Structures are given as C-alpha cells and as structure tokens.
Amino acid sequence: MTSPLDPPDGNWWDRAVNRRETIWLGIAGAWSLGIFAWMSGFTRFGDQNPIGETYDVEPEAYAATVDTYEENAETTSTAAIEESRAPTEEERQDVLVPPSKSVYVFPRRFSWGGLPVVLEAGTEYDIHLSSADVQHGFSVRPEESLSQQINLQVFPGTEWVVPMSFDEPGTYQVICNEFCGQGHASMHGTFYVVDPAEYETVTGE
C-alpha cells in the first residue's frame, strides 16, 4: 500500500526553523510566561480577591444568631430611603438598620434572611454569610450597572465573614446565582446604600 503523499527529502526533521516562525515562537513563549506571572501575582496581591475569615457553624446556631440580629436591628422603609426623609412609625417595617458594623445574611430556599438592609456608603461592614440548607450563590450588583458584580458561594455549615464597603450610594440587588430548587428565580434581596449625610435621617437615628 502506497501513500498519495510524496515523502520529504533528506533530513526534514533537522532543518532550521524559519526566522519569522522563530520570532513568533519567542513572542508566544514570552507572552505565556508573562500571563502566568500576572495570574500568580494577582492571586496574591489583587484587590478583587474574596477575603475574610471562615468558621464552622451549625445552621441552627447561625439561624439563632440571625434571629437575635434582626430583633436588635431598627427598621426603616423603602419610601423613606427613596425620598431621603425620616420614616414614620407606621412605615418602620420592611428595611433593617444594622445595630453594628456586622451584617448577617442568611439565604434559604427561597428567601434572604437579613435583607433588605440599609447601609452607609463608604463604611466597611462585616458581611456574615451562611446557608440554611443547600449551596446558594451570593451575587451583588448595582441596579444601574448589572455588569458590575461580585459573586460568592455560600454553604451550609460554614460562616464566611467578608469585609465589604459600598463606595457609591444606590440600590444593590442581591440574587442567588446557584440553582437551589424550583423557587430559585424568586430569590432576590436588596442592599440600600445611602449617602453618609442622609444616613441618620433615613434610618431615624
């Protein structure tokens, strides 16, 4: 059986590589090393890396902590936040005002415990995350720019404390981006972030 291809002449495997090909191989090699070094450095020094501490916690114990947090939190209203005014006593019901710089978020199928909450722009909070049942996604994005977002994974049995601050006032949507059941699409929460000059007014403090 013969091949339709003509066999190469001489020592074809030992011929010099074309100069242009050598240049491009060098560029590709240098680029690959540069990208590898950048990725390695970014994992150590990048500002966008999720940070914080994690702890083992039973879902029931974390649920009790969140219940205490919600009981101690004051409340305000969406209307007061949107209109930059003090809430009336009748309105104080739907938005939590955290009693400290620790904010507890407790996803469960299919709702967000601890949300909605109002925060002060430029202030760093410790966001505590743990799941009641299954793995959930914690995706936070500004309402006016949905392409900007942070995505974290929340697991039962683990409490993740993430330092987080919001530089710009506005409404930040929280969604679960990890399928968790038939009601997954209804899992929405909200961070209301207000200007420091208006925070005491809208929270009624």
Local structure of residue 159 (DSSP, 8 states): E
Structural domain boundaries enclosing 138: 53-203
Residue 33 has pLDDT above 90, yes or no: yes
More confident site: 128 or 200: 128
Question: At a CB cut-off of 8 Å and minimum separation 6, what does 95 contact?
Answer: 75, 76, 77, 78, 81, 116, 117, 118, 192
Q: Are residues 93 and 194 in the same domain?
A: yes
Cα separation of 153 and 140, whole Å?
Answer: 12
Q: How much is the average pLDDT of 61-88?
A: 91
> DSSP secondary structure string, 81-136?
HHHTSPPPTTTTTSEEE-SSSEEEEEEETTEEET-SEEEETT-EEEEEE-BSSS-E
Q: How much is the average pLDDT of 5-19?
A: 79
pLDDT at 49: 66
Q: How many domains does the chain have?
A: 2
Q: Are residues 19 and 116 in the same domain?
A: no
Cα separation of 128 and 114, whole Å?
Answer: 10
pLDDT at 145: 82
pLDDT digits (tens, 9 = 90+) for 160-193: 999 999 999 999 999 999 999 999 999 999 999 9
DSSP β-bridge partners for residue 55: 159
Q: Are residues 125 and 29 in the same domain?
A: no
Q: Are residues 78 and 111 in the same domain?
A: yes
Nearest to 151, CA basis, from 181, 172, 177: 177
Tracing tokens 């530089």 back to the chain, one arrives at 167
Could you tell me if residue 9 is inside a domain? no
Q: CA torsion sign, 96 to 161 to 191 to 109?
A: negative
Could you tell me if residue 3 is inside a domain? no
Q: 174 with 189: CB under 8 angstroms?
A: yes
Q: How much is the average pLDDT of 117-138?
A: 96
Which tokens in the block code for residue 66? 């969140």
Distances (CA, A) of 83 to 93, 172, 195: 16, 17, 13
Q: Are residues 197 and 122 in the same domain?
A: yes
Distances (CA, A) of 151 to 55, 87, 100, 175, 176: 19, 32, 24, 10, 9
Which tokens in the block code for residue 183? 């009601």
